[in-house]
Amino acid sequence: MKAIRAGLPRGTAIELWWQDEARVGQKNTLPRRWARRGTRPSAPKDQCTAYAYIFGAICPEKGKGAGLVLPHCDSEAMNLHLAEISRSVAPRAHAVLMLDGAGWHGAHDLVVPSNITLLTLPPCAPELNPVENVWQFIRDNWLGDRIFASYDDIVDHCCDAWNRLVAQPWKIMSLGLRTWAYRL
């Protein structure tokens, strides 16, 4: 973090952002549900295979997020997402974007905006990324336990779920703040 700060103009604010992708589709997850002991509640399950990806990033300290719903998970999609995050960073601020080591996060054709620095999290440690908690919350509350009628239905529900989350900055703060990250 000191090296990043050293390369920035004096007085530049730093925003910590966290990024991840989630696949949502017709083979959806089933959230936990209450049931009488000894019973098995029924749950819908689809056998179709259409899906979309939510590219999501949050800045828990500010309670803001930037997301896109895209059909593929590749470097082209990541470039679009980085541009979206860049537009969400405050003026005269610099974002440190923490992400996992997926191949498209370090692809040779990745275009990283000048107001973002990528910082890769250690491998095999998804618990360090609070966006994993965001995905769980979104699936438990808005996307899980449903059968989607079509690809467009998947996209509509994903957009609705992300927009509902972004409309609740206190929820982003609650799910995303990691005190250890601000001690660096």
What's the rounded Cα separation, in Å, for the pair 86 and 116? 7
pLDDT score for 2? 75
Residue (of 13, 29, 40) closest to 135 by Cα position: 29
The per-residue pLDDT for range 28-60, each reduced to its tens digit, is: 555 666 778 888 776 665 566 789 999 999 999
What's the rounded Cα separation, in Å, for the pair 114 and 37? 56
pLDDT score for 113? 97
H-state helical runs in the chain: 2-6, 75-88, 131-138, 151-166, 169-176
72 or 41: which carries more pLDDT confidence?
72
pLDDT score for 41? 73
Is the pLDDT at 183 greater than 80? The verdict is no
pLDDT score for 47? 62
Residue matched to tokens 């009488």: 36
HSE-CB for 31 with a 13 A CA cutoff: 14
What are 97's strand-pairing partners? 17, 118
- Does domain 2-26+48-174 fall under CATH 3.30.420.10? My reply is yes
pTM for the model stands at 0.85
* Exposure string over 127-151, b if 16+ CB within 10 A, otherwise e: eebbbbebbebbbeebbbbbebeee
**Going edge to edge, which strands form the sheet with 13-25?**
64-70, 51-59, 13-25, 93-99, 116-120
Instruction: Find the mean pLDDT for residues 67-79.
Output: 97
The per-residue pLDDT for range 109-124, each reduced to its tens digit, is: 999 999 999 999 999 8
pLDDT score for 98? 96
